[in-house]
Amino acid sequence: MNLIPSLEDRDGAKTAARVIEYFRRRLEDWGQTHPYRLTASGAWAASRPEHLFSFFKSVNLSGFPLFIDLGSGDGVACCVAGLFTRAIGIESDLLLASSARGAGRDLGLSGRVDFVCADFLTQGIQKADCLFIYPDKPLYALEKVLEGWTGTLLVYGPHFPPKRLSLQEKLRLGMETMSVYSGR
Ligand SMILES: C[S@@+](CC[C@H](N)C(=O)[O-])C[C@H]1O[C@@H](n2cnc3c(N)ncnc32)[C@H](O)[C@@H]1O
């Protein structure tokens, strides 16, 4: 299955629908009604791909050459981001990271979307133009690692606001939100 949007699917909505359906089915295969599990470094819950697709369009994600998802869980956010740009997911939980790799392969996104099993605080995340996080804890440790970084941080869902990064806008769709912070 090749999921790079085709010319007939100019806004990518049909392609996104296939990503959404893939993750819905996989959760069903896992016998879960809600994506939730405790992991060694925190808690896994999945962001909602239909909302992400709309948020990523609003921030023109295609304009960012490298997107990194910090704590990528089952890979859903990275696979949606991969419809717009090059995306890397970093996840400390081995099972989630390998299942995310499988998703990237199944969706034909290999080469555009990659996953690393590691602690994102120890990786070279400053090389990303755009970082994404659906935080399971406050962002203070992350902010320390990002000192001097001038990129864009997207934070999905409710969170304690970071201290140094400045809020540019808060996008809302139904109950979901994504806050856009700038490191400049
Ligand atoms: C709320 S989930 C978000 C999953 C995904 N980003 C999404 O939007 O669906 C947070 C994930 O971050 C992972 N995590 C937390 N701290 C981490 C760290 N320091 N390094 C790598 N992964 C981490 C957790 O294991 C969990 O899977």
CA of residue 115 to ligand 1 center, whole Å: 12
Instruction: Answer with the residue of higher pLDDT: 85 or 11.
Output: 85
Assigned domain for 7 exists: no
Residue 7 pLDDT more than 60? no
Q: 81: alpha, beta or left, given left = phi > 0 and alpha = psi -120 to 50? A: alpha
- Which tokens hold the place of 1? 């299955």
Over the stretch 80-130, which tens digit does the pLDDT of each residue have? 999 999 999 999 999 999 999 999 999 999 999 999 999 999 999 999 999
pLDDT value of position 2:
54
pLDDT value of position 4:
56
Assigned domain for 50 exists: yes
Instruction: Answer with the residue of higher pLDDT: 7 or 79.
Output: 79
Assigned domain for 45 exists: yes
CA of residue 156 to ligand 1 center, whole Å: 12
- Please count the structural domains in the chain: 1
The residue whose two tokens read 């992400």 is 52
pLDDT value of position 9:
72
3-state secondary structure (DSSP) of residue 101: helix
pLDDT value of position 12:
80
| 38: CATH | 3.40.50.150
Residue 67 DSSP code: E
H helix and E strand count, the chain? 5, 9
Assigned domain for 118 exists: yes
Residue 48 DSSP code: P
Assigned domain for 28 exists: yes
Assigned domain for 140 exists: yes
Provide the residue range defining the domain that includes 105.
13-182
pLDDT value of position 15:
87
Taking the CB of residue 7, how many other CB atoms lie within 10 A of it?
5
Q: Report the sign of the C-alpha dihedral through residues 137, 57, 88, 130, in that order.
A: negative
Give the nearest ligand 1 atom to 46 CA: 9
pLDDT value of position 66:
98
> Rounded to an integer, what is the distance from CA 78 to the centroid of its chain?
4
Residue count of the chain, please give it: 184
Nearest CA to ligand 1 atom 19: 119
- Which tokens hold the place of 120? 């994102």
Over the stretch 153-170, which tens digit does the pLDDT of each residue have? 999 999 999 999 999 999
CA 112-25-77 angle, 5° bins? 35
Helical (H) or strand (E) element with 95: helix 94-106
Assigned domain for 1 exists: no
CA of residue 96 to ligand 1 center, whole Å: 9
Q: Rounded to an integer, what distance in angstroms lies between the CA atom of residue 3 and that of residue 104?
A: 10
Across the range 2-11, mean pLDDT stands at 62
Assigned domain for 112 exists: yes
- Which tokens hold the place of 173? 């769709």
Task: For the chain, give the mean pLDDT.
Answer: 94
DSSP assignments along 139-157, one per residue:
SHHHHHHTTT--SEEEEES
Q: Of the candidates 126, 134, 128, which has an alpha carbon nearest to the alpha carbon of residue 91?
A: 134
